[in-house]
Structure 1
Amino acid sequence: MKGILTFLLFSFSQLVGQAQAKTKQVFIEGSGQPIVFLHGGTFDYTAFAAHARLLSDTFTVIRMLQFNVQYADAGWTLPIDYSVSMESDAIKATLDSLHITTPIILIGHSYGGVIAFEFALNHPDRIKCLVLVEPPLFDIAKRKGEYSEKMKQIDELSKDFTPQAIVTEDMIKSFRCEMTNCDTFDIRTHPMWPKWLKQKDRLKGLSVVSAYKIDFRKLYAFSKSVLIVTGTKTIEPNKTVDKLLSREFSNAKTGSLTGDHIAIYQNADNFVPMLKSFVRTNSNSY
């Protein structure tokens, strides 16, 4: 009930104050050390429902909704100055509005991982542990001389998904084929195709990912424990970025989940024990 009430209150405040929205819609369950989940670019906070059920007996689990998804589902247009920083700033504003001052365990998948990365580097005092699951931080590959043709293709495609873009079926097809190898089948026959079409506007704003630049000074200064999680069958760009991140963070460990880029959602039963072990080993208490 606590989680449902919090969700409703924040949904209402967002609708009333949309002109200057600074906090995120959230769903909160459980009590204890706060864990914040940030979903991938076209997902939403329901993607981490199973994780919340497994963790809420020990933690306060906070699932946050990205603005690009919230605006798309509501039929609103993203601000022209929409950015990763805007999403990151909203995490702080939301935590402050919830009166959460204790350091959090922050978990981000894909685009959510980019936002988590930005928030953690700018607010290390608010972080207890950081978990990144295949964030497309291709800038690190550029800086380290490992920027591949596949990364370039994804970046070029992502640039079309501006905050004001009109997303077409061809754009969806191209994007999904970059994420899933569709050389041997028509991506439009994929069982998820109807849902992808329905949620096409969630792609708006993802151009900010390809434009994102890493502040390496802050990266090297970040000393909190970091867990980098990779799907065993994910695409090469994600594996390369995760490998580089594990080298550049001063206190990083790695883990893997069976599956591709969305393995985090499909393997809650495997991810949660990995997370608990990591937190237990790399913090004083949880």
Structure 2
Amino acid sequence: MQHITSPDGTRVSYDVYGAGPPLVLVHGSFNDHRTNWEFVKPFFEKQFTVYALARRGGTDATKGHTVEDESRDVSALIDSIEEPVFLLGHSYGAQVALGAAANILDRVRKLVLYEPPWPSTIRSDTLARLEELAQVGNWNELPATLFQETFSIPMQELEELRATEHWPLIVADAEASLEQLRALSRYIFSAERFHGLHVPVLLQVGTESPRDKFVTDTLAAVLPDARVEASPGQAHEGITMAPEQYAASVFRFLAPLKA
């Protein structure tokens, strides 16, 4: 694990692996910089030098931080890399990656965003239930409640996920992820802010996801160079549930890899 220092003095960690042009990964909530990409790593590391950022909340936990703080963390990592990068974010991490790309326009070659959520996606009553679960330490039910109430993940898919070795890792990240949900609920999102983002952008969605929960279509309407691609049969955890299909989508968009 390597480290950089963000503009506010926070130490931010990241892993580096693979070979090829630089690809920066920004993980979502209820995952970390390893588990979010565990199943796509074998595909990515054959094509890219991957910089997998460990967002705040894991190894570098802070309290009360904002989405903008985390975007500046990503910008600092990109600035430390010697050449322009491909940038990819999932869920909350997609909002963070989007902000980072807007911060340093000339350092991002292409941007991939998988279902960045609206701040209003986390309803106040759902957040209150999550806070209640946190107060009694019921971390196992906290992600399940969020996935069902907010992202409408089908029960069968949720049960499949809970039966995998990935679920204990999701639960382990629940406390840090709740801090991120708080940050998201405070975030003021304006699509018009990104009107000047001229890099090519791939906006990914799952066909089984509740599309209105994400800023995908609003971004597609204002970004100068964006396309939307739906992953058939997938929901919010398509990166984990269909990694080969997901990696193929990313490769199609990022090719040709050489400048």
Common fold, TM-score beyond 0.5? yes
Give SS of 1:43's match.
coil
| TM-score between the two structures when normalised by the length of structure 1 | 0.73
Whether the aligned pair in 2 keeps the contact of 1:161 and 1:207 (CA below 8 Å) is no
Task: Return the alpha-carbon distance in structure 2 between the equivalents of residues 136 and 103 of structure 1.
Answer: 26
Written as runs of structure 1 = structure 2, the 5 A alignment for 1:40-59 is 40-46=28-34, 47-59=36-48
Are residues 101 and 157 of structure 1, via their aligned partners in 2, closer, same or farther at CA, if it must alter by over 3 Å? farther
| Other-structure match for 1:222 | 197
| Other-structure match for 2:18 | 30
Are residues 280 and 161 of structure 1, via their aligned partners in 2, closer, same or farther at CA, if it must alter by over 3 Å? same
Are residues 252 and 262 of structure 1, via their aligned partners in 2, closer, same or farther at CA, if it must alter by over 3 Å? same
Q: Looking at secondary structure, tell me which structure has more helix per residue.
A: 1
Are residues 127 and 42 of structure 1, via their aligned partners in 2, closer, same or farther at CA, if it must alter by over 3 Å? same
Selected match of 2:103 from 122, 126, 138: 122
Task: Return the alpha-carbon distance in structure 2 between the equivalents of residues 191 and 37 of structure 1.
Answer: 26
Task: Return the alpha-carbon distance in structure 2 between the equivalents of residues 158 and 106 of structure 1.
Answer: 29
Whether the aligned pair in 1 keeps the contact of 2:40 and 2:239 (CA below 8 Å) is no
Are residues 160 and 122 of structure 1, via their aligned partners in 2, closer, same or farther at CA, if it must alter by over 3 Å? farther
Whether the aligned pair in 2 keeps the contact of 1:32 and 1:58 (CA below 8 Å) is yes
Give SS of 2:227's match.
strand
RMSD: 3.3
Give SS of 1:254's match.
strand
Selected match of 1:134 from 115, 119, 126: 115
> How many residues are matched?
246
Give SS of 2:246's match.
helix
Task: Return the alpha-carbon distance in structure 2 between the equivalents of residues 161 and 190 of structure 1.
Answer: 18
State the percentage of identical aligned residues. Answer: 21
| Other-structure match for 1:21 | 10
| TM-score between the two structures when normalised by the length of structure 2 | 0.79
Give SS of 2:28's match.
coil
Give SS of 1:210's match.
helix
Larger of the two Rg values belongs to structure: 1
**Residue-by-residue CA offset, 1:106-139 (whole Å, 9 max, x unaligned):** 1100010010111111211111001110000347
Selected match of 2:50 from 30, 48, 61: 61
**2:252 is equivalent to residue 277 of structure 1:** yes
**2:215 is equivalent to residue 241 of structure 1:** yes
User: What residue ranges of structure 1 are gaps of 5+ in the alignment?
Assistant: 1-6, 140-150
Whether the aligned pair in 2 keeps the contact of 1:159 and 1:207 (CA below 8 Å) is no
Whether the aligned pair in 2 keeps the contact of 1:33 and 1:58 (CA below 8 Å) is yes
Whether the aligned pair in 1 keeps the contact of 2:153 and 2:209 (CA below 8 Å) is no
| Other-structure match for 1:211 | 186
Whether the aligned pair in 1 keeps the contact of 2:208 and 2:235 (CA below 8 Å) is yes
| Other-structure match for 2:230 | 256
Kindly state the Cα deviation for residue 63 of structure 1 after the two structures are TM-superposed: 0.9
Written as runs of structure 1 = structure 2, the 5 A alignment for 1:150-165 is 151=121, 153=123, 156-158=125-127
Are residues 95 and 194 of structure 1, via their aligned partners in 2, closer, same or farther at CA, if it must alter by over 3 Å? closer
Task: Return the alpha-carbon distance in structure 2 between the equivalents of residues 276 and 103 of structure 1.
Answer: 17
User: What residue ranges of structure 2 are gaps of 5+ in the alignment?
Assistant: none
Are residues 195 and 152 of structure 1, via their aligned partners in 2, closer, same or farther at CA, if it must alter by over 3 Å? closer
Task: Return the alpha-carbon distance in structure 2 between the equivalents of residues 53 and 218 of structure 1.
Answer: 35
Amino acid corresponding to residue 260 of structure 1 in structure 2: A
Kindly state the Cα deviation for residue 57 of structure 1 after the two structures are TM-superposed: 2.7
Are residues 209 and 160 of structure 1, via their aligned partners in 2, closer, same or farther at CA, if it must alter by over 3 Å? farther
| Other-structure match for 1:3 | none
Whether the aligned pair in 1 keeps the contact of 2:205 and 2:229 (CA below 8 Å) is yes
Give SS of 1:25's match.
strand
Task: Return the alpha-carbon distance in structure 2 between the equivalents of residues 181 and 277 of structure 1.
Answer: 27
Are residues 49 and 156 of structure 1, via their aligned partners in 2, closer, same or farther at CA, if it must alter by over 3 Å? same
Amino acid corresponding to residue 79 of structure 1 in structure 2: K
Are residues 173 and 260 of structure 1, via their aligned partners in 2, closer, same or farther at CA, if it must alter by over 3 Å? closer
Amino acid corresponding to residue 65 of structure 1 in structure 2: A
